[in-house]
């Protein structure tokens, strides 16, 4: 695992894990709360596992990329702010 010794890759991996955790929490909340009958709609389908997997994958991609992007943008410090 020499790739994780690179600071940027470690930063991205940690923030991807944070985003994936947030996505899993959001997925569990959506399934548990059943907003607008979402869980009932998915369970009534012929292949509910596919719909659940696609929903989870979309949430992981969205939350993971948002966490990684915000970490990269915040890593610049005060150098990119014109000295303020």
Asked if pLDDT for residue 84 goes beyond 80, the answer is: no
Please give the average per-residue pLDDT across 3-20, as a whole number. 91
Question: Using 50, 70 and 90 to split pLDDT, how confident is the model at 5?
Answer: confident
Please state the separation of Cα 82 from the chain's center in Å: 31
Chain segment 34-62, per-residue pLDDT in tens:
999 999 999 999 999 999 999 999 999 99
Task: Specify the pTM.
Answer: 0.82
Q: CA 84 → CA 62, 63, 77, distances in Å?
A: 32, 30, 11
Domain range list for the chain: 12-72
Please give the average per-residue pLDDT across 16-28, as a whole number. 98
pLDDT at position 45: 94
Q: Across all residues in the chain, what is the average pLDDT?
A: 90
Q: Are 64 and 19 in contact (CB under 8 A)?
A: yes
| Residue for token pair 């596992």 | 49
């Amino acid at each position: 695992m020499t790739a994780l010794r690179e600071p940027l890759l470690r930063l991205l991996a940690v923030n991807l894990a944070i985003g994936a955790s947030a996505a899993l929490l959001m997925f569990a909340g959506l399934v548990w709360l059943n907003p607008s009958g979402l869980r009932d709609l998915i369970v009534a389908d012929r292949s509910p596992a596919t719909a659940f997997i696609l929903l989870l994958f979309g949430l992981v991609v969205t939350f993971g990329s948002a966490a990684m992007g915000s970490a990269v943008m915040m890593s610049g410090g005060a150098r990119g702010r014109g000295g303020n």
